[in-house]
Amino acid sequence: MKLYLLRHGETDWNKARKIQGCTDIPLNDYGRELAGQTGEGMKDIPIDLVITSPLIRAKETAQLVMQGRDVEVVENPQIQEMNFGEYEGRPSDEEPTASILRAFFKNPGAYPPPKQGESIPELLERTGDFLKELFGNPKLQDKNILVSTHGAAMTGLVNNIKGQLEVNDFWKMGVPPNCAVTIVSIEGGEATIVEENHIYY
């Protein structure tokens, strides 16, 4: 099995530095351009299955990357973005949100998840569950799979693959750029990262 973990293209909220989370924001024109260029860069890579977050920015990115190909697309909520609850929609550079985000990125263990929001350990658990189910599926062992997801969710997936589950190390490798692709090879249930945050545009 080979996975191509893909972060979605840019949205207006990305550009305005607003907290997105589970708020369903579409790609902007630049995000669509990035996805199209990524699709062009990946055109010679065979893909057997697409698994996407249900959020429109991830679905649209997958559609643009796979444009012209007849491949099954499956939605899976386990790889949707982290739920930021009442923080969603707030500008990230205004207080009190700026202080909250400093904790989130610089000292994740001190990040206070909002009411009805999600903690980093909860995100690691659900993305880890997704990988266990995927790696254990006998029908997918010889498949190339595109996984279209989000910045924090993709980081959760990569940290699970690396076995890096300490909350304070969550952002050790930084935030994946929009439309970055991390390539993962799985053989005998063992996952190896082939390349991290490859850019095709």
150: annotated active-site residue: no
- Let me know if 125 is a catalytic residue: no
The secondary structure element, H or E, covering residue 141 is: none
Only one residue has tokens 């679905």, namely: 59
CA angle 65, 67, 68 (to 5 degrees): 145
Q: Please state the domain extents for the chain.
A: 2-198
Q: What is the pLDDT of residue 172?
A: 92
- Of 10, 60, 81, 118, catalytic: 81
pLDDT the model gives residue 188: 86
State the pLDDT at residue 189.
83
Strand runs labelled E in 103-142: none
Name the active-site residue from 8, 10, 60, 88.
8
At 138, the amino acid letter reads P
Contacts of 182 (CB under 8 A, 6+ apart): 4, 5, 154, 158, 176, 193, 195, 196, 197, 198
Flag residues of the chain having pLDDT under 50. Answer: none
Model confidence, pTM: 0.96
According to the model, what pLDDT value does residue 64 have? 98
Distance CA 17, CA 19 (A): 7
Cβ burial of 182 (10 Å; 0-12, 13-18, 19+) is buried
CA angle 19, 82, 112 (to 5 degrees): 75
Q: What is the pLDDT of residue 115?
A: 86
Superfamily of domain 2-198, CATH level 4? Phosphoglycerate mutase-like (3.40.50.1240)
Q: Which amino acid is at 142?
A: D
Per-residue b or e along 83-115, where b marks 16 or more CB atoms closer than 10 Å to that residue's CB: bbeebbebebeeeebeebbeebeeebeebebee
**Contact assessment for residue 57 and residue 11, using Cβ atoms and an 8 Å cutoff:** yes
